[in-house]
Amino acid sequence: MPQLRLLPRRVWAALLSQLLRPPCASSPGAVHCHSQVAEAVLIPQLKPHQDKPNFIIKTPKGTRDLSPQQMVVREKILDLVVSCFKRHGAKGLDTPAFELKEVLTEKYGDDSGLIYDLKDQGGELLSLRYDLTVPFARYLAMNKLKKMKRYHVGKVWRRESPTVVQGRYREFCQCDFDIAGQFDPMIPDAECLKIMCEILSGLQLGDFLIKVNDRRIMDGMFAVCGVPESKFRAIGSSIDKLDKMSWKDVRHEMVTTKGLAPEVADHIGDYVQCHGGVTLVEQMFQDPRLSQNKQALEGLEDLKLLFEYLTLFGISEKISFDLSLARGLDYYTGVIYEAILLQSPAQAGEEPLSMGSVAAGGRYDGLVGMFDPKGHNVPCVGLSIGVERIFSIVEQRMKTSGESVRTTETQVFVATPQKNFLQERLKLIAELWDAGIKAEMLYKNNPKLLTQLHYCENTGIPLVVIIGEQELKEGVIKLRSVASREEVAIKRENLVAEIQKRLSEA
């Protein structure tokens, strides 16, 4: 057979030159896949899973697919969160899904056992990221950045015992905002709380409260109560459980499991039941024991300043100074906070019920220095929005209210009542696509008109363009509103403009 050259010579030469390129140069995103080596190796026959005994088709334990419905809800929530972060001047950043194992070690206290490690396949020891904060600190140190305001939306992985019913997954999305840099006290911290308020108000999840404390106040409190310094973290970790356990049980754990003297536990008990606004800060300044502790005083000074700024931001009534707030992570060094949703009381006078934490964060001034070759620190403060819990709440509400969402954005459907009209439909739909109109048609040569119209009703497409023999002859198209079932004939050349007009009015 003769060599064929149907392409112009220059195109042909271009293709040839591609053949001469070095291996691996081909695909950065390696589109689907490139088989590299198949040296005389017989590729095993594709074997259906149903031939394998014991194979259950599922996602890994604690993970799930996100359906189109869920994706729509997510997209809306994430858009609101990200636009708030951008409103506050944050830049976007992304880091790899995994880090060198060593980057993650000794950052998460007792939770380190929940880190997913990758198999050693010859090379570096790697772990899936556990949060977005440690990678951010690693990024700052690695690039020697002294300040940065960034947001990061991404998945993190934790090997928790999955109690899926409660909406706790092993793979979940985090939305973080952080401010790194040496600034005047409490200005960035106040902005973080403002952001939490803007997002929680914007999402209309109902009433919420942000608990605030300071690691230095907590440590000072432990010190003045007589907790030995070696037990600070262990006792802090008990205190952290106060949102799930009663004080009695927490006290029992501190005394029995952690060996704290009962009277020391009772001293702590006096403090951790305190919560209130700026007046509680003032009160603690007067506290005969706490006011003797330098660390605690520093924390109180900062909280006082913080409340001043929160008042200027108009959000101080959303904030509660709460001595029971501990936060589990090792890396916090100053102010810490956690937002909870409050169920509206069923009856007046009833205590509002907490629906759990939906956002949290704090100051971590020492983390970047752990990665810096010379130990130089970059003070940081940030927050993380608990979007997974928020997704669950919104999905649950939609389920309860019977509200449904469209999972596509299609604006126009191209239909025909006639057989053998595929060619005209294809020409027409390409015209719409090229004009930027979101359009669909059925992938059938001869679909029934009723089937086509049902498709629009089922998927919420608002407009249908109908083309048939008659329309073709007259140079018009029928434009139909799915809701009103009204149809008008429009000149073919005006169709795109008319559709755009209708869509902009909708």
Contact 172, 65 (CB under 8 A): no
CB of 360 to a second copy, least distance (A): 4
In whole angstroms, what is the distance from residue 447 CA to residue 450 CA? 9
| Residue 128: C-alpha distances to residues 227, 284, 292, 337 (Å) | 36, 42, 44, 26
- 327 a known binding residue? yes
CB atoms within 10 A of CB 329: 19
- Does residue 452 bind a second copy (CB under 8 A)? no
Kindly state whether residue 192 participates in binding a second copy, applying the rule CB under 8 A. no
Q: Pick the binder of a second copy from 81, 104, 173, 306 (CB under 8 A).
A: 173
Near a second copy by CB under 8 A: residue from 229, 419, 443, 506: 443
The stretch near a second copy (CB under 8 A) out of 19-27, 296-304, 396-404, 467-475 is 19-27
d(CA 14, CA 446): 42
Residue 370 CB, nearest approach to a second copy (Å): 5
Burial pattern 151-181, b for ≥16 Cβ within 10 A else e, equals bbbbebbbbeebeeeebbbbbbbbbbbbbbe
Q: Which residues pair with 414 in a beta bridge?
A: 465
Given candidates 78, 80, 245, 503, which one binds a second copy under the rule CB under 8 A?
245
In whole angstroms, give the CA distance from residue 341 to residue 345. 12
Separation CA 354–CA 389 (nearest Å)? 13
**Segment near a second copy (CB under 8 A), from 52-60, 291-299, 394-402, 496-504?**
52-60
| Among residues 241, 252, 304, 478, the one that binds a second copy under rule CB under 8 A | 241
- Contacts with a second copy by CB under 8 A: the residue count is 223
One-letter identity of residue 381: V
Report the site for a second copy in 62-91 (rule: CB under 8 A): 63-68, 71-72, 75, 86-91
Q: Is 178 annotated as a binding residue?
A: yes
Residue 504 lies near a second copy (rule: CB under 8 A) = no
The number of beta carbons lying within 10 Å of the beta carbon of residue 71 is 13
Of 158-166, 215-223, 292-300, 494-502, the window that binds a second copy (rule: CB under 8 A) is 158-166
163/488 with CB nearer a second copy: 163
374 is a site residue for a second copy (CB under 8 A): yes
Measured between alpha carbons, how far is 338 from 94 in angstroms, rounded to an integer? Answer: 25
d(CA 137, CA 185): 20
Instruction: Kindly state whether residue 222 participates in binding a second copy, applying the rule CB under 8 A.
Output: no
Among 237, 293, 295, 452, binds a second copy (CB under 8 A): 237
Residues 87-116 that bind a second copy (CB under 8 A): 87-100, 102-103, 106-111, 116
For the beta sheet containing 412-415, the strands, ordered from the edge strand earlier in sequence to the opposite edge, are 439-440, 412-415, 463-466, 476-481, 487-491
| Region from 214-222, 361-369, 395-403, 471-479 binding a second copy, contact rule CB under 8 A | 361-369
Gap between the Cα atoms of 409 and 86, Å rounded: 25
6 is a contact residue toward a second copy (CB under 8 A)? yes
At closest approach, how far in Å is the CB of 469 from a second copy? 18
Residues 462-491 that bind a second copy (CB under 8 A): none
Examine residue 450 and tell whether it contacts a second copy (CB under 8 A).
Answer: no
Cβ proximity of 442 and 409 under 8 Å: no
Residue closer to a second copy (CB basis): 353 or 489: 353
Map residues 329-348 to x or -, x wherever contact with a second copy holds by CB under 8 A.
Answer: xxx------x-x-xx-x---
Stretch that binds a second copy, among 187-195, 215-223, 291-299, 473-481 (CB under 8 A): 187-195
User: Residue 52 or 473: which CB sits closer to a second copy?
Assistant: 52
Which ranges of 330-439 would DSSP assign to H, the alpha helix? 367-371, 387-401, 422-434
The footprint of a second copy on residues 273-312 (CB under 8 A) is: 273-277, 279-280, 283, 287, 309, 312
Render 286-304 in DSSP notation, one character per residue.
Answer: H-TTGGG-HHHHHHHHHHH
- The SS3 assignment for 322 reads strand
Using alpha carbons, list the distances in angstroms from residue 318 to 306, 315, 321, 349, 445: 13, 6, 10, 19, 61
Any contact of residue 421 with a second copy (CB under 8 A)? no
- CB-based contact 102:115 (threshold 8 Å): no
Q: Applying CB under 8 A, which of residues 396, 436, 487, 488 lies at the interface with a second copy?
A: 436
Residues making up the binding site for L-histidine: 131-133, 158, 174, 178, 327, 331-332
